[in-house]
């Protein structure tokens, strides 16, 4: 029963996460990540991955705090990176059950650093490696839907990076074309 519940929770997290990746709005992205992390945490807790589950719940608090700062248009203090990192390491030390748990101590720290970036494109770049690592962890822990979530999220991140890069490149191209046209018209 726990195995099935773990898969269902991971599947729900997968769907919501895929929707959030293509967001241009960081506030919406943070809101969706709160929901994703709750279901993601439950998928690991139901399958015995306490470090991953509890650290995901800590990530929920982190995302909520960052969302509040983003909503108020205030830059969060950098010391919070250390506070959350210390929480992840402490949980890992207390509930450490297998060598693989090191992955779930390191990856939330990587996510934490990424969340402090202002540029969403840079956030996307920084989220690829932790998603790949967590996909491997979830696969080895037999939380298959969460493994799929992290693998698909890594792939979708790459697609989003390419999409927004091409979009920015086209916007720059059109802007330079407009500039050329203005110069041409000015000379007439």
Domain boundaries of the chain, sorted by first residue? 2-158
Read off the pLDDT of residues 101-114 as tens digits, 9 standing for 90 and up: 999 999 999 999 98
Read off the pLDDT of residues 146-185 as tens digits, 9 standing for 90 and up: 899 889 889 988 998 998 888 888 777 666 555 545 544 5
Q: What is the pTM of this model?
A: 0.76
Read off the pLDDT of residues 111-149 as tens digits, 9 standing for 90 and up: 999 888 878 888 889 999 999 999 999 999 888 988 998
**CA 87 distance to own-chain centroid:** 18
For 4-32, give the DSSP string: HHHHHHHHHHHHHHHHHHT-S-HHHHHHH
Task: Tell me the angle at which helices 103-115 and 79-95 cross, rounded to the nearest 10 degrees.
Answer: 160
């Amino acid at each position: 029963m726990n195995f099935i519940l773990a898969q269902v929770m991971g599947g729900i997290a997968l769907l919501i996460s895929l929707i959030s990746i293509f967001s241009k709005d960081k506030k919406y992205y943070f809101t969706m990540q709160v929901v994703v992390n709750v279901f993601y945490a439950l998928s690991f807790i139901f399958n015995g991955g306490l470090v991953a589950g509890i650290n995901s719940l800590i990530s929920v608090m982190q995302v909520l705090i960052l969302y509040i700062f983003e909503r108020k248009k205030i830059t969060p203090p950098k010391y919070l990176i250390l506070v959350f990192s210390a929480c992840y390491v402490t949980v890992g030390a207390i509930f450490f059950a297998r060598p693989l748990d090191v992955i779930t101590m390191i990856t939330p720290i990587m996510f934490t650093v990424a969340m402090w970036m202002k540029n969403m494109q840079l956030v996307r770049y920084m989220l690829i490696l932790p998603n790949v690592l967590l996909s491997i962890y979830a696969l080895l822990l037999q939380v298959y839907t969460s493994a799929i979530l992290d693998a698909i999220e890594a792939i979708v991140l790459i697609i989003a990076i390419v999409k927004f890069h091409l979009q920015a490149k086209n916007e720059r191209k059109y802007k330079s074309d407009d500039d050329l046209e203005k110069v041409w018209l000015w000379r007439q």
